[in-house]
Amino acid sequence: MKKIELVSEIDLNGLYSWLQHPEAGGIDLFIGSVRNHAHGKSVIKLVFEGYEPMAIHQMNKLADQAIKQWPLKRLLMIHALGSKNIGDPVVVIGVATAHRNDAFEACKFLIDELKNTVPIWKKEHFTDHTVWVNAHP
């Protein structure tokens, strides 16, 4: 079972609850959040935009690859769009599997490939300027 979404707000407790499965002894949950600096400058906020149909398509493709490669009970890939403040979660990758090694490997694969292939961009707001960049260089 998989959950793939682009959302305005991320509910971490709800996502963790959704990942739980009676056959899963390992749940790996990666949370990417807004930090207060980038490129040696202070960050005020980030704004995320994405080409939603293509982003969802690519996220599903990655999820299907992971499901074929590891014995996953549950998988989720969630990315926030819109304006996000320091500390806000912006991306969550989660997997539930019987054993921890499969969970770690699948989760790492999913976040690395999401960052490399999914069309999501961010606008970094610094104290002195803003700049659009690939959300996951």
d(C-alpha 52, C-alpha 127), whole Å: 29
Supply φ then ψ for residue 111, to 5 degrees: -70, -40
Does residue 137 or residue 104 have the better pLDDT?
104
Average confidence score pLDDT of the chain: 95
pTM (2 d.p.): 0.92
**86 falls in which pLDDT band (50, 70, 90)?**
very high
CATH number at residue 113: 3.90.1170.40
Q: Give the model confidence (pLDDT) of 8-62 as tens digits.
A: 999 999 999 999 999 999 999 999 999 999 888 999 999 999 999 999 999 999 9
The total of structural domains in the chain comes to 1
